[in-house]
């Protein structure tokens, strides 16, 4: 019997989208393995969450009423205990920041081979997972030659399950060794307020590491001014202290959906794309014709930004 156990995710009272995506991915894998799909929801309003997670394809939802918020020591203990009871063929977790804060510990603890950030998988006697390497420049497949495996899936790759289901909801009593809980979450803070809200902008001119030096940002600012647009950026620009955190687009920055997003010298790393793929029209300016940003761009210019940007600004003066 090869069941799948998927660990759902929530934060500050809300289930995160990846929880519904885990249902779709989990159902796919359970069908291929010929087993049931079990979900676990740990901490918080577990019965409220279980109601929402009760979607088509789920066989059993295990609610674990332990604490309010995510704590990796608690999660690690609960998941290993639930795993021992269910002995699933595959343990599915989100490749989220919190997923990466417990999945490797759980896999090591249970001696399971671990594949992170899967964007696809299939089972044909052995499990094959697809991943990306070198900043999405290449795709690779890895084969897992084992009866049990731990996998984390990239958020946004599977559609979220929508139809209501009729899963059994059962409560799981974990026995938590409090002396092994050595971390305490003391609060949350929103970052990146400040002068502008890039999520309000209709047109974003976004600058990335291709700009090379802090002084050169001025070039892109001039373009933004000429277009009546707002300036945003990829992460390295903010890491370097060249722009404030409230300008960062991406997974750990802001999710933006402007009418026009102009990505200048931005490669299109997955964590950046997560924040701007919902833009209406995406335009990329990049010297590298193979940069992943062109996969999601509607229009592009393969050229040096130091030639194109001033020429473009000139057009609007």
Ligand X SMILES: Cc1cc2nc3c(=O)[nH]c(=O)nc-3n(C[C@H](O)[C@H](O)[C@H](O)COP(=O)(O)OP(=O)(O)OC[C@H]3O[C@@H](n4cnc5c(N)ncnc54)[C@H](O)[C@@H]3O)c2cc1C
* H or E stretch at 143: strand 138-144
Contact between 283 and another protein per CB under 8 A:
yes
Among 161, 260, 273, 276, binds another protein (CB under 8 A): 260
Residue 208 CB, shortest distance to ligand X, in Å, is 3
- 100: burial class by Cβ within 10 Å (0-12, 13-18, 19+)? middle
**Partners of residue 40 on adjacent β-strands:** 7, 62
Do 10 and 16 touch, CB atoms closer than 8 A?
yes
Q: How far is the CB of 291 from ligand X (least distance, A)?
A: 4
Residues in contact with ligand X by CB under 6 A are 97, 135, 208-210, 234-236, 248-253, 265-267, 269, 271-272, 275, 285-288, 291, 304-306
Q: Does 252 bind another protein (CB under 8 A)?
A: yes
Q: Kindly tell me which of 63 and 208 has the beta carbon lying closer to another protein.
A: 208
Return left, alpha or beta for 300; rule: phi > 0 is left, psi -120 to 50 is alpha, else beta: beta
Per DSSP, the three-state class of 159 is coil
- Is residue 27 a contact point for another protein (CB under 8 A)? no
Strand arrangement of the beta sheet that strand 114-118 belongs to: 114-118, 149-153, 90-94, 4-7, 37-42, 60-64, 168-171
Among 210, 237, 236, 234, residue whose Cα is nearest residue 309: 210
Applying CB under 8 A, among 67, 113, 160, 244 the residue interacting with another protein is 113
Contact flag: residue 303 with another protein (CB under 8 A): yes
Q: What three-state secondary structure class fits 284?
A: strand
**With CB under 8 A as the contact rule, which of the stretches 26-34, 141-149, 156-164, 165-173 interacts with another protein?**
141-149
Our CB check for ligand X shows the closer of 128 and 288 to be: 288
Q: Taking CB under 8 A as the rule, does residue 157 contact another protein? A: no
Q: Which is nearer to ligand X, 97 or 170 (CB)?
A: 97
Instruction: Give the whole-angstrom CA distance, residue 14 versus residue 200.
Output: 23
* The entry of another protein, ligand X, none that residue 45 binds, CB within 5 to 8 Å by partner kind: none
**Interaction between residue 315 and another protein (CB under 8 A):** yes
> Which is nearer to another protein, 54 or 267 (by Cβ)?
267
**Would you say 22 and 161 are in contact if contact means Cβ atoms under 8 Å apart?**
no
| Residue number, nearest CB to ligand X | 250
């Amino acid at each position: 019997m090869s069941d799948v156990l998927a660990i759902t995710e929530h934060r500050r009272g809300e289930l995160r989208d990846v929880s519904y995506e885990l249902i779709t991915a989990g159902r796919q894998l359970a069908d291929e393995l010929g087993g049931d799909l079990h979900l676990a929801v740990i901490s918080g309003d577990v019965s409220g969450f279980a109601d929402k997670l009760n979607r088509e394809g789920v066989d059993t939802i295990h609610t674990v009423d332990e604490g309010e918020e995510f704590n990796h020591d608690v999660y690690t203990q609960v998941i290993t205990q639930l795993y021992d009871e269910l002995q699933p063929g595959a343990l599915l977790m989100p490749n989220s920041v919190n997923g990466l804060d417990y999945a490797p510990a759980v896999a090591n603890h249970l001696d399971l081979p671990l594949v992170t950030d899967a964007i696809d998988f299939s089972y044909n006697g052995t499990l094959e997972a697809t991943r990306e390497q070198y900043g999405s420049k290449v795709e690779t497949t890895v084969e897992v030659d084992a009866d049990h495996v731990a996998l984390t899936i990239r958020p946004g790759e599977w559609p979220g399950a929508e139809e209501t289901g009729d899963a059994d909801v059962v409560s799981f009593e974990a026995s938590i060794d409090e002396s092994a809980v050595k971390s305490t979450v003391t609060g949350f803070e929103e970052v990146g307020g400040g002068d502008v809200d890039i999520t309000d902008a209709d047109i974003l001119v976004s600058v990335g590491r291709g700009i090379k030096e802090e002084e050169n940002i001025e070039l892109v600012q001039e373009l933004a001014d000429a277009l009546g647009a707002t300036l945003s950026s990829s992460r390295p620009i903010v890491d370097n202290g060249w722009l404030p955190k409230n300008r960062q687009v991406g997974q750990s920055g802001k999710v933006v959906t402007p009418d026009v997003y102009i990505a200048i010298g931005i490669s299109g790393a997955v964590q950046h794309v997560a924040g701007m793929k919902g833009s209406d029209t995406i335009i990329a300016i990049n010297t590298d014709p193979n940069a992943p940003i062109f996969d999601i761009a509607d229009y592009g210019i393969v050229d040096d930004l130091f030639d194109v940007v001033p020429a473009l600004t000139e057009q609007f003066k």
